[in-house]
Amino acid sequence: MKNIVIALNPSKDTEGKILSLVIEKITNIFKTSKITVLNSYEINKYKFDDDLDLLIVLGGDGTLLGIARDINGKYDVPILGINIGNLGFLSSIEIQDLGEALNKIKNGQYNIQNRILLECKSDDEDENISSKALNDVVIARGTLSRMAKFEVYIDKKLYYSFKGDGLIVSTPTGSTAYSFSAGGPFVYPDVEVITLTPICPHTRGMQPIVLKSSSEILIKAENYNGEIYLTFDGQEARKIKDNSSIIVKKAKDVAKILLFDNYDYFNVLRKKILDN
């Protein structure tokens, strides 16, 4: 490990005590490694001159999601998520397990799991929308708007037209997030599929569906001059035009998540989601 970057969410470690501990442990195990520390909110502004061997994310799920979007397509680097936030479902380890984790990395006792991302753009060139998501892309009505109408096309074929609050297009990684809350299925994180989950559909016929990852989803949204928003990973929101057409499909790049040989997805699922 020649070049290690630490992306810290400063709001989770205001006094820098956790950061100091992490640097100390890395230095003890990887004595000759170059360590670069960056604010997680500003990593997209930074240009790395050298190849990166490891990106350590200190924060919670939101921090990791933001980092995955910011570096995607720019740097081919595995991400080690260390939870110092609340839920930490996406994180590889908890902070107390750092020493053991670094030794496992040194000894090659880990795997890199490729997670698909979604890319989204508008069918209308004037909208100028282009972004990616590790969890989900959500198209929904505004808070004070009435129900919107959505037409959903899969590979240019009409799936269904319904009225409701919105639609969630989710990756397997995001299947435990908003999609789950709206009634969508859990999907094992490295399975290459895309799920569509309606939000409060007024039509009972509109049900969640699991699609192959190569599917292209086109969503036409009409809110009768009301507000419609497009949201990426619950973090970036864009107000879009009424009657907009949004295209969502699998991105060419993937997020590389570093996991250890003893990683047990179902144990994490029970502890972080099902038993809470």
Q: Which residues pair with 54 in a beta bridge?
A: 4
Q: Which pLDDT belongs to residue 266?
A: 94
- pTM to 2 decimal places: 0.92
- Binding site for NAD(+): what residues are annotated? 61-62, 135-136, 146, 163, 165, 176-181, 235
Q: From first to last of its 276 residues, what are the pLDDT tens digits of the chain?
A: 889 999 999 999 999 999 999 999 999 999 999 999 999 988 888 887 678 899 999 999 999 999 998 887 778 899 999 999 777 888 889 899 999 999 999 999 999 999 999 999 987 766 778 899 999 999 999 877 788 999 999 999 999 999 999 999 999 999 999 999 999 999 999 999 999 999 999 988 899 999 999 999 999 999 887 889 999 999 999 998 888 899 999 999 999 999 998 889 999 999 889 887
Output the known binding site: 61-62, 135-136, 146, 163, 165, 176-181, 235
Residues identified as active-site? 61
Please name which of 62, 14, 8 lies closest in space to residue 40, comparing C-alpha atoms: 8
Structure tokens at 6: 């630490």
